[in-house]
Amino acid sequence: MLAVVCPGQGSQSPGMLTPWLELPGVPEQLSSFADASGIDLTAHGTTSDADTIRDTAVAQPLIVSASLVALRAILGDRPAEQVVDVTAGHSVGEFAAAAVAGVFTDAGAVALVSRRAASMAEAAAATPTGMSAVVGGTPEDVLTAIETSGLYPANVNSTGQVVAAGSPEGLAHLAANPPAKSRVIPLQVAGAFHTPFMESAVEVFQPVAEAWDASDPRLTLLSNADGATYATVSGAAHGSRSDVLRRLAEQIVAPVRWDLCQEQLVALGVTGLLELAPGGVLTGLARRAMPGVETVAVKSPADLDAARDLVARHSSAAGDAPAATEGASS
């Protein structure tokens, strides 16, 4: 069984789209994404520096675009539901995962996430906040230290990695008083996402999301709020568009429970996990939390052959579908 997972904010790096532009169709694909989002994603993915792409309003559509460019390069003309068994995304990656599941068109996902990013950037600018990863320590000690520092557990990625979010003073206190046997690592994000600091962003984004053009998922899609499949949430075959849109708005202030998503992937019987570009973080977590599951992280076109091989060997959905064609399509 094949899972396709999509990375979240902080996975971006300067120049990450440069090698992708050499693939047929990718320049046109990125041009359509730029038109949809109103952002020059080609420039930001090739020449913008680290500080520029750290801006939430840039980072989020850039990451979702990179994931969808990689997806189409891997699948060619095949619809994802003919290949992918289950998909999930970490935070903003859930928008890319929703496109994988057929909830949005690729350009529609990039356009919507640009609206999310703008609302979150505005909320982040209102009050200085940030995020730090706590790696190691016992879950009890880590959560106690986060609470003692006046912070929130914004991402529970695994039993050994929790992301704390809140004020600079709270993050400084946590760094100076780390839980036993842990490290505190500042993250390159511009706000305390998935905490009450983002309430104003939800107020702006929720009506936009609820009115967005969307379809019911066409394959199994997980919610990073609790790892549940959208079928479980709604009772429909793969879930309903209204539930997906509602939860995508609510997740702005809700903790990301990637630990529960990983548990669900294991429970579903996933044997191969493909992380779309800019990959690396989620496969690293999977190697520790999902032993025995084969992983491939797509970082550049050099990883496409390995990705296609993983798909061919682990996809239950593919059946006798024809092999993927080279290049990308929008």
CB neighbour list of residue 237: distance below 8 Å, 6 or more residues apart: 216, 231
**160 vs 157: CA distance, rounded Å:** 8
- The backbone region for 289, taken as left when phi is positive above 0, alpha when psi lies in -120 to 50, beta otherwise, is alpha
Active site residue 194: yes
Residues ≥6 apart with Cβ < 8 Å to 267 = none
Active-site residue (options: 194, 223, 238, 314): 194
Query: Who contacts 282 (Cβ-Cβ below 8 Å, separation ≥6)?
Result: 5, 7, 90, 93, 258, 273, 275, 297
Contact between 92 and 120 under an 8 Å Cβ cutoff? The reply is no
Active-site annotation holder among 67, 91, 182, 315: 91
DSSP 198-258: GHHHHHHHHHHHHTS-----SSEEB-TTTS-BHHHHH-SSS--HHHHHHHHHHTTTSPB-H
Task: Tell me, yes or no, if 31 is annotated catalytic.
Answer: no
Q: Both tokens of residue 217?
A: 């998922």
- Residue 60 to residue 323: CA distance in whole angstroms: 31
CA distance 30 to 40: 9
Rounded to whole angstroms, how far apart are CA atoms 30 and 66? 9
Token pair, residue 321, equals 């579908």
Q: Residue 9 in 3-state DSSP?
A: coil
Which among 86, 46, 82, 78 has a CA at the least distance from the CA of 62? 46
Residue type present at position 23: L
Residue at token pair 């999977």: 286
Residues with active-site annotation: 91, 194
